[in-house]
Amino acid sequence: MHILIIGAAGMVGRKLTQKLVKDGTVGDQAITRLSLVDVVEPQAPADFTGEVRCITADLSDQGAAETLVESRPDVIYHLAAIVSAEAEQDFEKGYRINLDGTRALFDAIRQEHLRDGYFPRVVFASSIAVVGAPLPFPIPDDFHTTPLTSYGTQKAICELLLADYSRLGFFDGIGIRLPTICIRPGTPNKAASGFFSNILREPLVGKEAILPVPETIRHWHTSPRSAVGFMIHAATLDLQKVGPRRNLSMPGLSATVGEQIEALRRVAGDEAVALIRSEPDEMITRMCESWAPGFDATRARELGFTAETSFDDIIRAHMEDELGARA
């Protein structure tokens, strides 16, 4: 089996690659070839015995999608995007990367399909940003997509494209609406939601973290470990069971910032919590108040997608995966 990961140098892309290499299979098929693509060169996994290509490419560049697809991967993971705050600040870049690049990929696959019936599984990383306020809690699976950001709009358009290309039989696509991933390893990125991870990640290693919003802010989360699990399950799922509604809101955990902090206290103690410093930011608070507080996610759960059920578990997963400790 040949797997193409676009966005392989990103956090989810790296962890997905590691998990695929560790497992060695997708479903009952052995992985024999990996194509890892990003705008910066991805690192080749050291312990993979099959063929690996590490490619530096921008999917939105002319001809890039066609070059990637001509190698006929069996599963295509499309994880590449610029994050919410950057897409909002740079309108043209957001639409070029998040929409034009995706359309180019889908159409490159379509052309190969029309040539000789090529029919891959496409797993598209979407976002809960496709919904917008006013929002019920929990948000049902059939809630309308009315995004209130450019990033959410770009993802919603791509969801429609994925469903239409799948309906017409050009590829077998599934869209995974990822919750906010917490705790993200590494250093803060440009995502407006980054503080959700910062207030846990930094105190766990003895560093101060800034909290820009009230503790009453509620949001929808999952761990990097669960996000990778979603992606792998999506590659093997019988999409006849999904039907024409090819985009699914993933399971997650609804929690307030205060509940996150109390989970940190239970796992790491008062000393860790004392490292969180409140610096209110009205702009970030207004943004957060319009974000999804939580989803019902019945369809995804019934289809076998799973996630953590407590923030204690999310924190422990981070400690095990990133800090080499068992909590």
Residues with catalytic roles = 151
* Among the listed residues 197, 214, 193, 213, the one whose alpha carbon sits nearest the alpha carbon of residue 205: 197
CA distances from 137 to 141, 144, 285 (A): 12, 14, 19
Per-position b or e across 28-66, b if 16+ CB within 10 A of its CB:
eeebebbbbbbbeebeebeebeeebebbebebbeeebbe
Strand 25-26 versus strand 29-30 pairing type: antiparallel
Burial class (CB in 10 A: 0-12, 13-18, 19+), 121: buried
> Do residues 230 and 236 lie in contact, with contact meaning Cβ atoms separated by under 8 Å?
no
Residues forming a β-bridge with 31 = none
- CA 130, CA 104: separation in Å to the nearest integer? 21
Report the C-alpha gap between 48 and 58 in whole angstroms: 25
Q: Sign of the CA dihedral 247, 21, 171, 67?
A: positive
Between CA 327 and CA 313 the distance in angstroms is 9
Closest CA to 153 of 205, 114, 98: 98
User: For residue 261, with 0-12 CB atoms within 10 Å meaning exposed, 13-18 middle and 19 or more buried, which class applies?
Assistant: buried
Handedness of CA 277, 283, 286, 290 (dihedral sign): negative
What is the phi/psi pair of residue 22, to 5°?
A: -60, -45
